[in-house]
Structure formats: C-alpha cells, structure tokens
Structure 1
Amino acid sequence: MERPQQPIEHWLDLERDQLFLWVPVMLGLGVSAWLWLPDPQAWTSIMLALVAVALLALAADRGGRASRAVAIGCAGVAIGLGLIWAKAERVASPALTKPSAVQFEARVERIEMLAPRGIVRLRLVPIRMIDRPGRRSAAALPAQLRVNLPIADLPMGLSRGAVVQMGARLVPPPPPSVPGAYDFARVAWFDGIGATGRGFGPIELIAPGDASGGELRARLSMHVRAQVAGGPGAIAAALATGDQGAIPLDDAEAMRRAGLSHLLSVSGLHITAVVGIVMLVVLRLLSLSPWLALHWRLPLIAAGAGALAAIGYTILTGAEVPTVRSCVAALMVLLAVALGRAAMTLRLVATGAIIVLLCWPEALAGPSFQLSFAAVTAIIALHESPRVKAWFAARDEGWMPWLARQLASLLLTGIVVEAALSPIALYHFHKAGLYGSLANIVAIPLTTFLVMPAEALALLFDLVGLGTPFWWVVEQALRLVLAIAHAIAAAPGAVTALPAMPQGSFALIVLGGLWIALWRSAARLIGVVPLAIGAFWAVSTPPPDLLVTADGRHLALRTIDGEIALLRDRAGDYTRMMLAENGGFDGEPGLLSEHRFARCSRDLCIADRVIAGRQWRIVATRSAYLLPATDLIAACRGADIVVSERRLPLRCQPRWLRLDRPMLAQTGGVAITLATRQVVTVRQPDDRHPWRVPARAAQGSDNLCCSMQGLAKQRQL
C-alpha cells in the first residue's frame, strides 16, 4: 500500500536540483517576518516555533527529502529573522528625538551634487557642538547626519574628509508621510543616519579634505560633461561614475516613465558591459601572440582582467551597496567561467542572493534588491525552459530568419521581465510603464554595445587628445535613447498608476512568481493561483479618498472625476508627487479651492463629497492663524472629519474623526477610504521596530496607545 508521503517524495526527487534555489527564499521570508511582526516578543516566539518544527522534522526523518526540506526551510526562515534582528541591533545609534537648530563642526563623509535641484547633499560626522551666547546647549548630535545645502553656499575646495563649521535645522529621519510612502526612517537606521535637514550659512571650511578618490570621480564627471553637453552628457557621466546629480529633471522623469531608469544607476548591466569589454579587448590583444595563445589559458587571464575592471569600476562609482551586489555577482560569474562551469544559472543567482542577505539582510526591503534579482531570475528561468530553448536554439538558416528569431527572443524576454518587475514597481513607486519592454529592446543593446564601448574608447583616446569622434558617437546614441524615452513617456497610457498595494497581495504575487520560476515540473503551475489572487486583490483595492500627512499641513482629497485635490495652494514638488502617487493618480494634482464641492478661505476649507450614497463633510485648517473658537467649534459640529496642523479645542468634536496635531503625532500619516470607512495609519501602537521607538520617545508609548484607542473610538461613532 502506497504511503501518503510517497507522491511528495517522488515530486521532491524530481525537483532535487531546484531545492537549493529556495534557500535564499527562506532567508528572505525570515527577514520579511521580522519587518512585518511588531515586537521582540513576536520575533522570539516565531523563532522558537520554527526551531521546534525543524527539530520535529529531523526527529521524524526516515530518509526522505520532505522532512529534511521542512527542517532546512524552517531553519532558513529562523536564520533570516535572526540576521536582520542582529543587524538592526548592531547598527543601533542614537537618533535625534525632536527638531533642532544647531551650530556644529563636522567632517564631510560624502558629497552628492544635485545640480538640477540647486542643492548639494552632504553626509557629515559631527565633531563638536558650538553653543551660541545666551542659548541653551542643544542635545548631543547623532553620529552621522545628512544635510542639504544650496549650491551657492558651498565653500570652495570642499571635498571628502574636510572639516566644516556650519548651522543646520535638523529633524529626526522622517517615517512615511502617508501609508505606502517611502520609509526613510528605516533606511536611515540601517545606514547609520541619525538626523536629516537643511544647512544654512555662513559655512566655514576649517580643514581641507584629502579624498583623491572622490576628487577623481568628480573630475571624471566634469570631464565627461565637458565633452558631451546637456542631458546626454549627464547620462554619460552617470554611466562612467555613477553620478546622477546633473541629469535634468525632465530627462530623469521621462526615463522613469519609459521604464529606462535602470540605465541611469550603475547596476549589473553596466558592470557586465565593463567586464565584457575588458575581457574582449584583453583576449584579442593577447591572442595576437601565438606563443601566449599556445602556452597560457588566455580566457582565464581575460577573466582576471575583467574581475579587476569590475572591482575598479565599483570603487570609481562610489561602491554603493547595489553596485557592490552587482560586482559580487559578476565575480561569481567569472569564477564559474574560470572553473569551467555554466556562467549563468539559477543556482548562481541563488548563491548571490544568499551572500547579499547574509551581509545586508535589510536590502531585501528595498526596490533595488527586488528589481535586480527579479529581472535576472526571470531571464534565466525563461531561457532555461526546454520549450524556449528549442524555439531559439542555433540552427542553419539565413540571416533574415536569424534576425527575426533574435528580435523575437528580445521581445519575449522584455515582456517577461516587464511582467516580473511591474508588481515590484507598483508596490514601491505606485506606477509601472506599459511600454517598457519595447523601449528596452532598443535602449539596452544601444547602451551596452554602443554607448559604453564608445565612451570607454573616448576616455582612452582622450589621453592623446583623439577622443572627439567617439564622444560624438556617445552623444548621438544617448540623444536617441532620450528621444525614445520622451516619446514613450508622452504616449497615451504609458504609465499605469495604482494606490498603495496591500502587503498581502504583494506577498502572494511574489510567492506565486517564485513558485513558477523555481520549479521545473508541472507543479509549477500551482503558482498561478496565488499570483492571480494577489493581482486581483491589488487591482481591486480602491484608492483612498483622503490622505493626510503626519504634520497635518497637507491633505489630498479625491475629486468627483477621480483626480487628487490638495488643501494648500503652495506645496513642494515632493509633497505633490508623493500624494498623487499614493493616491493612485498619474498627473498633476489640482487645488481643493478650485472645486465647486469645496468652500475655502485663506484659513479654512470645507468640502462636501457624496461617496457610496452618503454625504461626507471634511473640514481642514489651511494656515497657522487661529480661528475664532466659536466658529471653529461650530464647523467641527457639522463635520464628519476635521484635520488640522495644530491642537484643536476639546469642544471641537466632529461626528467621526478628529485628526489634529496630538493625534497625528502618534498615528503618523493617515489614509482613509470613505466608502468602507477604512482608516490606515503609518504608526501602530505595538510597533517596536528600533526606528519607530525614538520617534515616539518624547510622548511615550502609553500616550501612543491611548491616542490609537481614541482613534478607534472615533471610528466607531
């Protein structure tokens, strides 16, 4: 009689070569569990439960694969959870607890020029505070700061390692402004940044720096931009040094909307191009000598030269974590080539993912890790499919059929990659390009096989003053890339916009996609079920009707025609973009005061919206001036929701929600869906992640709990 576990054992035996691919997935599940679960008690409980299940599986092991797979999977999840927890504790550094205006001396660690925005971004290590006469000494500064300065205030000769004296208005690293927005507080915690803000003059250079590497990078960027003008020159500089600060805002936006923004940041594509160019040149030069060709393994020497080029390029472009990840992957490919193994396999991708998660487990939450590994996994999984291999296998044919099959291969690869990356882009950026696969068919080969080799030759021949023809090729090719980007970005329906995607739907999409990509038997089709459920959940999630930022100053209300209207006439570009994206709207937000359903003065707006057969009245203050208490209380009495950046009188009691400064200080930004009365907040009362605790230290967790309970009571009214 067949035992119940035999079919599973048979299936796992068929998939035995694929089991290793799930090791990084299990590590990632552990990291995700730590980010999702709220507090140390939950983290400890899950780890103990996983260890217990792993031990039980080992105890029940009778020589089959199933029990060992369960044990290894549980151990992987527990290790992933422990890795991110340990990393969060290891990088712990005191953060600023409240806004402060301070004078201090600091050493410059990094300089990032953002010329189109007119600012320069400095990463600083404070040395000492400078107390002003007649003023109390401020609290001690965090270990590292990130400060923006107007370019006009930048002192001459500032370089990495310099010591400056300056003033700055600093704030704690901000959490998401509204649910679903960018969480800089989490990123800053793992990056060691304890405060951010804007510097002000006068800025005095106390001691010069000694950063030849940084100066080399800056000089190289300036040299490239001097040879190629405008947007193409800025993109060429980004390809050479990783410096994107000079790219015009309209060009950067067009590249993003066209799905080509990955070309602007140094990633696996660029390192692969550099390695390929160096290996080809070295191999061709060495093969000119018959003696060397007969007595030395030239491919191995070329691979070594490619490895040195990858490392040098990574250092030159700033050695950012995504670039280091790409460099590690390239070195692993070169090692496989040197050992005579297949260069690109899913096992190699899995090994790279394991290395990254062991060193930088927090990278899993960022779009860079997800986009890069999703793209590579999709490409390799597609071309490892036996049917796809048969379609595009080499055969005797004319050049026309060969070219047609190559174009078909590129188009199919682009479509699969776009399908793999779109959910990630929608989750993080709330937008995804529809024509990105078509744009990439032209832009990627153009950048890889024409722009980067021509730029490398231009820099080489510039040593003897003969690089001009190559710079002309670079400029014309990049002008073509930009023309494609602007044309695609301006096409109707070029971008799909969705509101913040529920975490559950994103998890189902990712797990379904991994199930399809990593298995080889017919059981892989099971992954279509969670993938379809997650996709339906995401597209059926209604956009919020009301978004309120954590400071209460900005409010976005959905209009009758589905657009977004802002409370204040003056809102920064970032605020406008952030509210539009998280509201699922692709366009320029309008103003609440311009709509008939709203009545606005300089200090107050009253908006009436009919949603799901019910009329809602929203009252919001729009200035810092105090209104007459009787008028404000009367307005509150007739409102369902009241929003204010300041503390409202106790007698201001709306029918449903009161979101004033004390409440928003504890809940963070708020997203409200009026049809279902769903209220989503950035902060939760039981969230004990380390980057959340300092932000509420001044008020105390008890106050947060009470405020959240008050919000819940208001929602029940």
Structure 2
Amino acid sequence: MATRAACEDILPQAAPEGAALQHRPWNSARRLSRGLEGIERFLAGAGFDRVPWLAVAFGIGIAIWFALPSPGHWLALMVACAGLSASFAALLHKYGRYPYLRLSGIVIPLVVAAGCGSVWARSHLVGAAPIPGPVVVTLEGRILSVEVQPAQERSRLVMATREPGTARPIRVRINLPDRLAPGSRFNTGDLVRVRARLMPPAPPMLPGAYNFARTAWFKGLAATGTALSAPEILRSSDSASLVSGAQRNISAHVRARLDGGEAGIAAALATGDTGGIPEADAQAMRDAGLAHLLSISGLHVSAVIGAVYFVALKLLAFWPWLTLRVRLPVVGAGFGALAGIAYTLLTGAQVPTVRSCIGALLVLIALAIGREPLSLRMLAIAAFLVMLLWPEALMGPSFQMSFAAVLAIIALSGAGPIRRFLAPREEGVPARALRHLALVLLTGLVIEFALMPIGLYHFHRAGICGAFANVVAIPLTTLVVMPALLLALLMDLIGLGAPFWWIAGEGIAALNALAHWIASRPGAVTVMPAMAGGAFSLFIAGGLWLGLWSGKIRWFGLAPAVAGVLLVATARPPDLLISGDGRHVGLLSKTRDALFVLRETRSDFVRDNLLEIAGMQGTPVPFTRLAGANCNSDACVIAVQRGSYRWHLLLTRGRYTVPERALAAVCERVDIVISDRWLPRSCRPRWLKADRRTLARTGGLAIDLAHASVMSVAEGEGQHGWWRSEADRPRQRERTRAATAGVSTAVGE
C-alpha cells in the first residue's frame, strides 16, 4: 500500500477527460465486436443460405463486366474486390470468427471478382472480331451446322472459312434461300464453295434494341450474310454428325406426318427445331405467355425424364430378384438421367436445354439420396454451373426467365401460408382438386409477375394472361401432346403410328387456337418503351431478395421492386429515334399515339425496332402526313413543339448533290440536322448534327427533345470486343475491298 501511495504521489494525476481518451479505443473495439456479433446473429436467424448468395455474387460479377466500359475498369473492380476481402479478413482475424460474416465479407467479394474474370476470359477465348464491312466474295469452307427453316423458306449454314483479304480463320453464318438449294442437301462436315454477300454482325439499331453483335461475338461468328449462288459441294463428309443427322431426320419425319403450323410446333417439341413455326403462330405464343413451350426447356426435359423414370420403375418392379436386391428409384433415376442426356443431345444441346438437363439431373440425384428435390441450393448449383460454362447466358432472356420462374415456384412453395394451405386434411376429392387448382392459378400469377419485367426489358412487350393460358397449355402439352408424339415416333417403327399422330395434331391445334385466342383479347399484351437498366436492376434485386430470404425480412425486397415500377411508370419514350446509318428516323407525335417515319420500308426488322423502342403497336406513318412537315424528294423540314420550345429539324433523304452554300444556309436556321450522308463542316445547326460521320462514332440515337438529352448505342457498348464503330475501320475496309476484288477465299483442309 505504501508503494502504491508513493507511486501515486510521484505520478501526475490524469484528468477525467484524459482517462476517457485512454479508454476510447477499447470502447470502440468493444462496440465494433458487439456490432459484428449482432450482424452474425441476425444472419443466422434470418435463414441466410450461403450457396444461393454465392451464385448471385458470381452473376453480379458477370453483369458488372458487361456494364463497365473498359479493361481498366474490369481490372479495378477485381483489385477492389480483392482488397475488400483482405481488409475484412484482417478485421475478423482480430475480432473473432464469424462464419456468416466471413462468407459475406471475404468470400463474396472474391466470387464477384471471379465472375468478372470468368466472362472476361471467355470473351477473350471465344470472341471473334467482325469483318470490317460488307463484301461480296466467293468462299470455300467447311459446314459446321445446318438449320432448316421451312417457315422462312431458307436454311442457315454455319461455315468455317477464312476472312477475305487477311486469310484469318473465321466462322460465318449464311442464309441459303430454298430457291437456290434446299439446306437438306448438305451435311455437317461438307466442304462447299458458295458466292455470298457478307457483312459484320449488326449492332443494336437503337439504344435498348437487340444486340446481335454481342450474341455473334460469343458464338464466334465474324460475319453473317446471304448466299448469292447455290453452294457447290467440293467434298462430302464421311464423318457427318450422328446427332445432327438424327435431329434433322426426325424433324423431317414429323413435318411429313402433320400439316401446317402443327408440323412446325411438333418438330419443335420433338427435336427443338423451331424453324418450321410460322411467325404468326410464334408471336401468338409469345403474347399468350406460352413461348416457353416452343423452346426445349425444363418442361420438356422433365417430361421425358419423368416418363422414362416412371416406366422404368414399373417395368423393373416385375423382376423380383432385382427388386429385393437394389433400390429401384436409384435405377429408375439412372434410366431417366440417360434419357434426359440423350434428349438434350438430340435437341442440339443449346444452353437452355443444357441448363434444364443439369437441373433435372440434380433433382434425380436428390431423389436418389432422399433429399429435397426442389430447393434453393439445387437451383443455385444449376445456375452456377451454367454461368461457369456460358457466363454470357446471364444477359439473355432465356436464362433470366427460366431461373426466375423456378425461383418464384420455390419461394412460393416454401412460404408458410402455402404450406398450411397444402397440409393434409380431411376432405373430399372435389375439395382437394379445387385446392390444387387454386394453387396452380396462384403459381401461374406469381410466375407471370416475376417474368413480366424481364419480358418488358428484352422484348418491350409482355402478356398478362399467361397464368390462365398455362393452366390449360402445360397439362395439355405434358400429358397429351408429348406422350402422343413419343408413341407416334415409336409406333411408326412398325407402321402403327397414325392414331397417335392424330392425337398429337389435335392437341397441338388446340394449343395453337388457345394461344391465338388469348393473344387477341383486349389488353392481353402490354407494350412499353425501352426500360432503363437501372429500373431493371431494381426489379432483379427485389426479386432476388424476395426469393432468397425467408421470414419477414424477405418483404424488404418489395422496396426496390416498387421503386422499379415507379421508374417504369414515369418513364417516357424518346421523341426522336435515329438508326445507326441515318436512313431511318422515327418521330413520336406529341400525344404518343403515332410514330412518323422518314422512309417507308418493307423491312420488318426496321419497323419492329422503331415501334418497340417507342413502346407502340400498329403501323408507322410517313412524314408527309405530319402537320408542320415540308417534304420534297431531297429533304424534310419539320417544326416540332415540345414543352415551351419549338424545334426545327432538317432530314435529308435524297441522293442528289445539294449546293454547299444553300445547305449551310438551311443548317443555320434549324436545331437538328439528320442525314445518311457526310455533310460538310459548313453545315452547323444550332444544337446537333447527326450525319454519317457522327453516327459512325455513336451508333443509333434516341433523343428526348423535352429535356434536350441524347442517348447513343456507343454509350452502352464501351470497349467490348463486339463493338467497333464505323469510324474506327474505314482504312481496313478499303484494304479488304481491294484485296477481295475477284478473289475467292478458301479454308485449309
């Protein structure tokens, strides 16, 4: 005690404020530790499942890669994720082990970086730089695939050849009209010579339009075109693909046994070949919410696997020796898996089919080992495998719609009220049937609401009656049409398939009639202008939050979803649409009920793009019928009132030479000049000159006159490999034209 008193006399007394400062780091650390413990308890009690969120993180990395413009940004993202993970690891190492926080702060940033790196690597490995410009050339190449499209009276050949002028190995896709030669003459592996007009894969015509250039990049296509002569077979293949040959033979056999649109739909259901479906029927199926029946997906793969599983189980049960020694469900699952894999290969092994097959195989594995067959973990594993193999699939509507539908089903079936609604109880058969019918209708409605934002974002239209149509269409397809098709094909081996073909044809006719009737109902289709990426991201975030959490916390996902609805509801379509070549211009009327166009065109592609981005249906109206437009054979001068300002537009449409001074004088008196020509520098409008030189850099434009804002295609493409502005490659195009004058291009054997 004396020593302590002596020390206290010697040491200066600390002020109360000093004591508080000395303990502040300790108090901060304690508060931080308590905060970490609270977050850990919250995650543990809220049903935080690690596996689904890892798949979401991987998808976020892929999506960010598409959104960021340049390699510098992609690398910065990956470095930032690694730094965040390391910082969090150091924090948790200091304050203790928290399993859920460790996943959230350490693993998830690394998975995001891995997603970005995976799609970057795939783009580098499979991407094919497009040819510099249109060219007519004679090609020699080997056929890689043949797709017969009788509804369009053509076939599509994918060939391996060499780029005109540079001899670079490339893949090209050529449309071969039936009037020149039917595609059924050719087989995979044939060496052919054909004269064709090639052009680089088309970028989006307008901001928000379909990006075929990106799709072609990941398919390895450097050019597309049309055959100008019948292909000459230089050498027939001795090793034609057995699978592709079987697919084409079965499709041809199905079309021979049925008539009209029923034949095309039957071939699509049997082999995945949609080339024989008339466009009117395909559009009706899309508007009625039944388009998923035309692409081989989970419904078809599950029907095949389920049928084989059931038949194998019943037949094997007649073998007592096997029944007593092995688990028949495991053996039946094996037969079902083999059938699913064979069906996937037969239908072309497209990404949606492979994705469905993976999911079905996981369900079979779960059934074989006695686990829950339909769960978030199963869905997450299937999604992760698809994104790992084809990361670009994440940006497509097929991936988004299929996984959104399954996620909606799982979330709905796992909800407490639904489980109580389906719980066993004492009731009659009619009451039980009505209860299950009500659940089917509710499931259909939930799926429609989940898929509607995706349909509006990608297609600018969505059906709202699909829930009711699917109540009839799915059982009709699964229980009548597909079994009848399978039995018809099998019974044709002994010449007794006619009754089953009749059943299949009548079922498909009823399905087609239902689609046309639903699509023709007033208000059955919702059409909206191009949805902004921010609004779509809010929908996706809200849907994932609602689907992946359990308990009351999941309802917080309604906040971003409602915000997305408000953004879409308040969005207004652009007033002025300009295609990338400057030839096609669309102007919305002030009341948004008509679309006026500079040139009338017979191209469905141009007309559909203009109407979709404008969020309209109907037929465009020429500028000559617009009040306030003064048009002649060379140009149109238009006055447009938007808000408090009156805009004056000059649009050229002729090919004759205009005196430069006269053109400059007119340009000075207008606000916007639009032309598919290169205009002289003396043409200086008051606000914007969108001539061929400008549009070559920007691509298509969407202009909001009320807010004086411009959106371009180039803004959304960045430095990704599939985007090459015309301004970047005029010299290369001239070299290619000079090199290909009268020269054929061959692929090495």
Question: What's the TM-score, normalizing by structure 2?
Answer: 0.89
Q: Tell me whether 346-355 or 277-286 shows the greater mean CA deviation.
A: 277-286
1:585 is aligned to 616
Residue 63 (str. 1) matches residue 101 (str. 2): no
Q: Contact 1:178/1:550 (CA < 8 Å) preserved in 2?
A: yes
The higher radius of gyration belongs to: 2
2:739 is aligned to none
Question: Which residue, 176, 180, 201 being the options, matches 2:208?
Answer: 180
2:128 is aligned to 93
1:704 is aligned to none
2:359 is aligned to 329
Q: Contact 2:145/2:159 (CA < 8 Å) preserved in 1?
A: yes
Residue 125 (str. 1) matches residue 160 (str. 2): yes
Offset of residue 5 of structure 1: 3.2
Residue 207 (str. 1) matches residue 219 (str. 2): no
Q: Tell me whether 222-231 or 666-675 shows the greater mean CA deviation.
A: 222-231
Offset of residue 565 of structure 1: 2.1
1:167 is aligned to 195
For 2:524 and 2:731, locate their aligned partners in 1 and report how far apart those are by CA, in whole Å: 47
For 1:102 and 1:57, locate their aligned partners in 2 and report how far apart those are by CA, in whole Å: 59
For 2:227 and 2:660, locate their aligned partners in 1 and report how far apart those are by CA, in whole Å: 38
For 1:352 and 1:367, locate their aligned partners in 2 and report how far apart those are by CA, in whole Å: 17
Offset of residue 320 of structure 1: 1.2
For 1:246 and 1:115, locate their aligned partners in 2 and report how far apart those are by CA, in whole Å: 5
For 1:152 and 1:394, locate their aligned partners in 2 and report how far apart those are by CA, in whole Å: 63
Offset of residue 630 of structure 1: 4.7
Question: Which residue, 541, 564, 575 being the options, matches 2:595?
Answer: 564
Matching of residues 287-306 of structure 1 within 5 Å: 287-306=317-336
State the AA in 1 paired with 2:339.
Answer: A
Matching of residues 458-473 of structure 1 within 5 Å: 458-473=488-503
Matching of residues 15-414 of structure 1 within 5 Å: 15-16=46-47, 18-61=49-92, 62-64=96-98, 65-126=100-161, 138-140=165-167, 142-154=169-181, 157-209=185-237, 210-414=240-444
For 2:504 and 2:591, locate their aligned partners in 1 and report how far apart those are by CA, in whole Å: 45
SS at match of 1:60: helix
For 2:632 and 2:340, locate their aligned partners in 1 and report how far apart those are by CA, in whole Å: 60
1:298-334 deviations in whole A, cap 9, x for unaligned?
2111111111111111111111122111111111111
Q: Tell me whether 455-464 or 196-205 shows the greater mean CA deviation.
A: 196-205
For 1:45 and 1:574, locate their aligned partners in 2 and report how far apart those are by CA, in whole Å: 39
With over 3 angstroms needed to count, the CA separation of the structure-2 counterparts of 1:686 and 1:441, relative to structure 1, is closer
With over 3 angstroms needed to count, the CA separation of the structure-2 counterparts of 1:586 and 1:18, relative to structure 1, is farther
Residue 573 (str. 1) matches residue 573 (str. 2): no
Residue 453 (str. 1) matches residue 483 (str. 2): yes
User: Which sections of structure 2, spanning at least 5 residues, go unmatched?
Assistant: 1-29, 733-749
User: Which sections of structure 1, spanning at least 5 residues, go unmatched?
Assistant: 130-136, 702-717
Identity of aligned residues (%): 43
Offset of residue 696 of structure 1: 5.3
With over 3 angstroms needed to count, the CA separation of the structure-2 counterparts of 1:171 and 1:679, relative to structure 1, is same
For 2:350 and 2:429, locate their aligned partners in 1 and report how far apart those are by CA, in whole Å: 42
Q: Contact 1:546/1:555 (CA < 8 Å) preserved in 2?
A: yes
Offset of residue 80 of structure 1: 0.7
SS at match of 2:583: coil
Offset of residue 587 of structure 1: 2.7
2:711 is aligned to 680
1:424-468 deviations in whole A, cap 9, x for unaligned?
111111111111111111111111111111111111111111111
Offset of residue 157 of structure 1: 2.3
Offset of residue 695 of structure 1: 5.8
State the AA in 2 paired with 1:79.
Answer: A
Matching of residues 488-567 of structure 1 within 5 Å: 488-562=518-592, 563-567=594-598
For 1:66 and 1:612, locate their aligned partners in 2 and report how far apart those are by CA, in whole Å: 52
Q: Contact 1:497/1:585 (CA < 8 Å) preserved in 2?
A: yes
For 1:603 and 1:288, locate their aligned partners in 2 and report how far apart those are by CA, in whole Å: 83
Cα RMSD, aligned residues only: 2.0
Question: Which residue, 627, 637, 640 being the options, matches 2:668?
Answer: 637
With over 3 angstroms needed to count, the CA separation of the structure-2 counterparts of 1:362 and 1:256, relative to structure 1, is same
Q: Contact 2:129/2:217 (CA < 8 Å) preserved in 1?
A: no
Q: Contact 1:382/1:388 (CA < 8 Å) preserved in 2?
A: yes
2:42 is aligned to 11
Offset of residue 181 of structure 1: 0.7
Offset of residue 554 of structure 1: 0.8
With over 3 angstroms needed to count, the CA separation of the structure-2 counterparts of 1:465 and 1:513, relative to structure 1, is same
1:60-112 deviations in whole A, cap 9, x for unaligned?
11112324321111111111111111111122434312222211101111112
With over 3 angstroms needed to count, the CA separation of the structure-2 counterparts of 1:474 and 1:202, relative to structure 1, is closer
Q: Tell me whether 376-385 or 115-124 shows the greater mean CA deviation.
A: 115-124
1:715 is aligned to none
Offset of residue 184 of structure 1: 1.3
1:132 is aligned to none
For 2:127 and 2:432, locate their aligned partners in 1 and report how far apart those are by CA, in whole Å: 57
Offset of residue 400 of structure 1: 1.6
Q: Contact 1:39/1:686 (CA < 8 Å) preserved in 2?
A: no
For 2:226 and 2:142, locate their aligned partners in 1 and report how far apart those are by CA, in whole Å: 16
Q: Contact 1:100/1:138 (CA < 8 Å) preserved in 2?
A: no
Q: Contact 2:50/2:103 (CA < 8 Å) preserved in 1?
A: no
Offset of residue 525 of structure 1: 1.6
For 2:723 and 2:351, locate their aligned partners in 1 and report how far apart those are by CA, in whole Å: 24
Q: Tell me whether 520-529 or 507-516 shows the greater mean CA deviation.
A: 520-529
Q: Tell me whether 284-293 or 460-469 shows the greater mean CA deviation.
A: 284-293
State the AA in 1 paired with 2:229.
Answer: G
Offset of residue 202 of structure 1: 4.3
With over 3 angstroms needed to count, the CA separation of the structure-2 counterparts of 1:300 and 1:696, relative to structure 1, is farther
1:711 is aligned to none
1:251-305 deviations in whole A, cap 9, x for unaligned?
1111111111111011111100110111111112222333433333221111111
SS at match of 2:480: helix
State the AA in 2 paired with 1:171.
Answer: M
With over 3 angstroms needed to count, the CA separation of the structure-2 counterparts of 1:73 and 1:695, relative to structure 1, is farther
Q: Tell me whether 335-344 or 292-301 shows the greater mean CA deviation.
A: 292-301
2:691 is aligned to 660
SS at match of 1:609: strand
Question: What's the TM-score, normalizing by structure 1?
Answer: 0.93
1:109-155 deviations in whole A, cap 9, x for unaligned?
111222222222111101x57xxxxxxx7343551011112121126
Q: Tell me whether 197-206 or 437-446 shows the greater mean CA deviation.
A: 197-206
SS at match of 2:128: coil
Aligned residues: 693
1:707 is aligned to none
SS at match of 1:96: coil
For 1:700 and 1:381, locate their aligned partners in 2 and report how far apart those are by CA, in whole Å: 56
SS at match of 1:454: helix
For 2:181 and 2:123, locate their aligned partners in 1 and report how far apart those are by CA, in whole Å: 34
Q: Contact 1:227/1:471 (CA < 8 Å) preserved in 2?
A: yes
